[in-house]
Amino acid sequence: MSRFADPAAPGRLRRLALTAVPPLLLLIVPMVLVGLYGGRLPDRAYVDSWAADPQYAPTWDGWLSGQRFSLLLFEAALVLPFLRYWRVPQAQRIMVALSFLVGASLSVSAALWLTMLVGASGPLARPAWHLPVEIGATAAAAVLGYLAAGPMPSPPEATATPPADAPTMTLGPHQRVLFVTSAWSRHRLLVAVALGAVTALTVSNGSSAWQGTALLALWTIFEAVQARTSLQIDGSGITVRASWLPVLRRTVPYSLVRFAEARSEAPPGRYKVDDSEAGWGVVSGKGPVLALSLSDDRWFVYSTREAETAAALVNGWLSRQRQGETA
């Protein structure tokens, strides 16, 4: 096994704790508030959707039992993906941010409902200012979680020249590298359309769970921007851009590339613009792909008919840059 087989180890247990702890607020905050104001609250929990259907509202004990179930559900939804991405620190950082988002958003919402009901005899209409407060707290918590995850472990640098059998284009000492191509993914486009339809349905039905609608909308955008992407190889590295959202871009620096090759299909695994155990990239269907072997034992892949040319350019650049180091 490569000594670089587990690049996520530094700080991983800390990120796991930061993922598991914030959802506890979903239960702690309501329990504390019910304990403090229990004698001044209505006999039923007219909270969230129960305010619109008060005849079905549970008792406060029943509502807290539902909060316990929600806690277990969110813990599983956050911790299990974290364990799945055990060796992918970038994905773990996203799980920490999502955990902070969930813990803050739902606990703030519960706190606003409960404090509003103190001294009330029945259900009350929700004030308009509740929503912007929840959204602000949610956004702030997501940013805080992203920062709290800390710096990501640096992957090792690759220094060896590409193998002799790898396709290589000989480059002169002053020649530049520039290669640009693009790809469509019908699968991503269809997924985006389906998600967009579900998102529109939740909006049209007037769902009070704005958090779920917002996450669906973000997921729709995430899939849609991967429907058409472009690849550029130049002196700074190998960059993938979303054609419909150019600000979404990722670059593989040459220091993290061992070698490049053209394959008839992508290596086994899931490849998107976010990270997975196998790597990341864009696979638009069956066909040739440019495959970069990365220094952390993963792959970057991109579907293109010019995979052989792209691989030769990358290896040519790597050979020119590293031949002095390995001489």
Is 7 a domain residue? Answer: no
| Same-domain status, 305 and 166 | yes
2 domain-assigned: no
Same domain? 211 vs 312? no
d(CA 291, CA 238): 11
Tell me: do 295 and 165 sit in the same domain: yes
Q: Are residues 203 and 180 in the same domain?
A: no
For residue 252, what is the domain's CATH number? 2.30.29.30
Taking the CA atoms of residue 209, residue 214, residue 220 and residue 226 in that order, the dihedral angle to the nearest 10 degrees is -150
**Region of poorest pLDDT, from 185-199, 200-214, 254-268:** 200-214
pLDDT digits (tens, 9 = 90+) for 189-199: 888 899 888 88
CA angle 99–211–8, rounded 5-degree value: 25
CA 327 to chain centre: 41
Q: pLDDT higher for 327 or 193?
A: 193
- Specify whether 196 is located in the same domain as 65: no
Q: Does some domain include residue 98? A: yes
- pTM comes to 0.75
Q: Where are the beta strands (DSSP E) in the chain?
A: 179-184, 228-234, 237-242, 245-252, 257-263, 279-282, 289-294, 299-303
Q: Which of 150, 139, 64 lies closest to 104 in space, CA to CA?
A: 139
Q: Residue 5's pLDDT band (boundaries 50, 70, 90)?
A: low
Query: What pLDDT does residue 324 have?
Result: 61
**Is 250 in the same domain as 297?**
yes
Whole-number percent of the chain with pLDDT over 70: 95
Q: Are residues 244 and 97 in the same domain?
A: no
DSSP assignment letter at 286: S
Please tell me whether residues 36 and 178 are part of one structural domain.
Answer: no
- 6 in a structural domain: no
Domain of residue 105: give its range. Answer: 12-148
**Over residues 311-321, mean pLDDT:** 93
Count CB-CB contacts under 10 A for residue 106. Answer: 25
- Answer yes or no: is pLDDT of 326 > 60: no
- The average pLDDT across 173-192 equals 85
Given a cut of 70, is residue 153 above it in pLDDT?
yes
Instruction: Please report the pLDDT score of residue 224 as a whole number.
Output: 83
Q: In this structure, is residue 153 part of a structural domain?
A: no
Same domain? 68 vs 199? no
Beta-bridge partners for 183: 229
Q: Is residue 307 part of a domain?
A: yes
Structural domain includes residue 272: yes
- Give the distance from CA 245 to its chain's centroid: 16
Average pLDDT over residues 34-54: 91
Give residue 245's pLDDT band: very low, low, confident or very high (50, 70, 90). confident
Q: What angle do CA 18, 19, 20 make, to 5 degrees?
A: 95
Residue 239's SS3 state is strand
Residue 327, pLDDT > 50, answer no
Q: How far apart are CA 319 and CA 166, in angstroms?
A: 11
- Give dist(CA 154, CA 296) in Å, integer: 10
User: Which pLDDT score is estimated for 284?
Assistant: 83
Decide which of 97, 124, 148 is a domain's last residue: 148
Rounded to whole angstroms, the Cα distance separating 185 from 226 reads: 7
User: Which of 36-45, 48-57, 75-84 is least confident?
Assistant: 48-57
Which residues touch 273 (CB under 8 Å, ≥6 apart)? 226, 229, 240, 242, 248, 250, 280, 281, 282
Give the number of domains in the chain. Answer: 3
Of the residues 121, 148, 175, the one at which a domain ends: 148
Q: Which pLDDT does position 30 carry in this prediction? A: 96
103 and 72 both lie in a single domain: yes
Separation between Cα atoms, residue 240 and residue 218, nearest integer Å: 20
Cα 270 from Cα 81, distance rounded (Å): 14
Residue 163 shares a structural domain with residue 180: yes
Q: Where does a domain end: 148, 171, 195?
A: 148
Query: pLDDT at position 207, please?
Result: 58
pLDDT of residue 177: 85
Q: Are 162 and 207 part of one and the same domain?
A: no
Residue 205 has pLDDT above 80, yes or no: no
pLDDT digits (tens, 9 = 90+) for 277-303: 888 888 887 889 999 999 988 999 999
Residue 246 structure tokens: 């150019």
Average pLDDT of the residues in 209-235: 83
Q: Is residue 5 part of a domain?
A: no
Q: Is the pLDDT of residue 258 over 80?
A: yes
Q: Which of 177, 11, 162 shows the shortest CA–CA distance to 88?
A: 11
